[in-house]
Structure 1
Amino acid sequence: MSFEVQDLYDVIKIVTLLILSRTAKIDLSKLRDRIEELCEHRICVEPGDLNRALSELANEGLVTVKGEYIELTSVGSKVSGDWKSLLLKSEPILEVVAGLTDGSITSLMIILSSFFARLSSKLTIFAALLTLASVAITNFSSFFLGGVTEDISEIIALKRLMDYSLSDNPDRGQRLKSIELLEQIFTLLNREVQKANITSAIVCALTTLFAGFTPILVYLLLPTPYNLLSSVALIGSIVVLLLARYRSKMTRIPLKITLLETLIIILIATFASILLGTSL
């Protein structure tokens, strides 16, 4: 399947892959019903159009048609996931990375400040609650407001490109059907993107709190100096086992490279925070 959307059948194939991204196997009648719902029950996709699109998907090795059932192949599952990730922004990569990074750095600053300033447990808890809550709320609002704005802007740009590609179709009837169906798809996508951004913002905030409070709890519960050593070791584990490995998995970059990049960024941010703190 080419990335360029050239005709009605390409649009139907995208819709089918998006539907199958939620359930790898579906009855043909249910697929028709889903597409009709997307079209708001207006006749914009005829059975012959759907059958041809499914035939093309099968020939491309993305789906298998067994009687009245359509099922994704292994290749189709990957392509379906890629379309879903592109259009629905469903992979919370940036949110998890930002949450783990901000939470780890913030907790490290709180722990070091508490240790060297010899703060009491109550003051440490107060500082942790105040600081981590501020960071989590900031991350939530940034990802929600900024994410919605950025994602919808990208969706609009992508729709323009697809509309332009479809406008070259010499078949006027098919061209109008394609544009109408595409319009319905992107109307739905706008709603889904807003929902996804709320989820992303929550994920980022919760990840920040998790990465921040866990080492601080270890620091408060253990006696000195084991509390400092254990909490710093835990932060290191979060950075290595969670942050670096997650980045390596999602970007398909070797773990050694992502680990080195992550450690450098964490160290720079930590030393910058310490320098700013000591200069005040």
Structure 2
Amino acid sequence: MSFEVQDLYDVIKIVTLLILSKTPRIEIGKLRGRIEELCEHRICVELGDLNRALSELANEGLITVKGEYIELTSVGLKVSGDWKSLLLKSEPILEVVAGLTDGSITGLMVILSSFFAGLSSKLTVFAALLTLASVAITNFSSFFLGGVTEDISEIISVKRLMDYSLSDNPDKGQRLKAIELLKQVFTLLNREIQKSNIMSAVVCAFTTLFAGFTPIAVYLMLPTPYNLLGSIVLIGSIVILLLARYRSKMTKIPLKITLLETLIIILIATFASILLGINL
């Protein structure tokens, strides 16, 4: 399937893949109804246009047609997921990475401060609650407001490129129908993106709390000096097993490289925080 959107059939194919990303198997008649419902019945998707688009998807190996039903192939499942990720920003990669990083560093700072200052358990818990809550709330608000702004801005750019590509279609009727369908699709995408960003912000906040409170809990439960050693080992495990592996998986970069990058960033941030604390 070409990435460039050139005609009505390409738009129908994209909409079909987005619908199938949620329901890998669907009846053709129901699919047509979903598309028209998506457009609030402002345009009528002709059965011939739909069948041609489905035929192209089948020829490209993205779907299989079984009687009145269509179903995604393994390749189609990946492509539909890619379109969903591109248009809906549904993969909270940055949120998880930021949450694990901020939570780990904040937790480490609380633990080191408590250990060297000789704080009691109550004061350590108070410091942890105050610090991690402020970081989590900041992450939530930043990712929600910033995420919505960034994602919608990117979606507008994608829509402009698609509109420009469709404008070359010599068939005026098909061109207008394709542009109208695309307009309705992106109207829906704007609403979905706002919902997705709320979830992403929540994911980031909870990931921050998890990465921060877990080593602090270990620090409070174990006796000295095993508490410091155990909590640092746990933070290292979070960084290595969760953060570095997650980055490696999502970016398709070897684990050794992502691990080295992650450790360098964590160490720089940690030492910077310690130096600031000493100077203050």
Greater mean deviation of Cα atoms: 32-41 or 233-242: 32-41
Q: In structure 1, what residue type is equivalent to 2:187?
A: T
Partner of 1:31: 31
Partner of 1:174: 174
SS at match of 2:22: coil
CA contact (8 A) 1:248 1:258 kept: yes
Work out the CA distance in 1 between the residues paired with 2:34 and 2:227. 56
Q: How much does 1:40 deviate?
A: 0.6
In the alignment, structure 1 segments of 5+ residues that lack a partner are none
CA contact (8 A) 2:43 2:181 kept: no
1:1-280 equivalences in 2 (<5 Å): 1-280=1-280
Work out the CA distance in 1 between the residues paired with 2:175 and 2:75. 29
SS at match of 2:45: coil
Q: In structure 2, what residue type is equivalent to 1:150?
A: E
CA contact (8 A) 2:43 2:177 kept: no
Work out the CA distance in 2 between the residues paired with 1:43 and 1:190. 20
Q: In structure 2, what residue type is equivalent to 1:225?
A: P
Work out the CA distance in 2 between the residues paired with 1:66 and 1:112. 62
Q: What TM-score, normalized to structure 1?
A: 0.99
Work out the CA distance in 1 between the residues paired with 2:251 and 2:273. 28
Q: How much does 1:42 deviate?
A: 2.8
SS at match of 1:131: helix
1:106-126 CA deviation, whole Å, 9 max, x = no partner? 000000000000000111001
Q: How much does 1:43 deviate?
A: 3.3
SS at match of 1:275: helix
Work out the CA distance in 1 between the residues paired with 2:90 and 2:42. 28
Greater mean deviation of Cα atoms: 50-59 or 34-43: 34-43
CA contact (8 A) 2:4 2:165 kept: yes
Work out the CA distance in 1 between the residues paired with 2:136 and 2:44. 45
Q: In structure 2, what residue type is equivalent to 1:213?
A: F
Q: In structure 2, what residue type is equivalent to 1:277?
A: G
Identity %: 88
In the alignment, structure 2 segments of 5+ residues that lack a partner are none
Q: How much does 1:44 deviate?
A: 3.0
1:240-260 CA deviation, whole Å, 9 max, x = no partner? 000000000000000000000
Q: How much does 1:30 deviate?
A: 1.4
Q: How much does 1:24 deviate?
A: 0.9
CA contact (8 A) 1:44 1:181 kept: no
Greater mean deviation of Cα atoms: 40-49 or 106-115: 40-49
Work out the CA distance in 2 between the residues paired with 1:170 and 1:138. 51
Q: How much does 1:175 deviate?
A: 0.2
CA contact (8 A) 1:62 1:76 kept: yes
Work out the CA distance in 2 between the residues paired with 1:106 and 1:212. 6
Q: How much does 1:29 deviate?
A: 1.6
Work out the CA distance in 2 between the residues paired with 1:43 and 1:179. 11
Q: How much does 1:23 deviate?
A: 1.3
1:219-278 CA deviation, whole Å, 9 max, x = no partner? 001110111111000000000000000000000000000000000000000000000000
Q: Report how many aligned residue pairs link the two structures.
A: 280
CA contact (8 A) 1:44 1:180 kept: no
Q: Cα RMSD between the aligned structures? A: 0.6
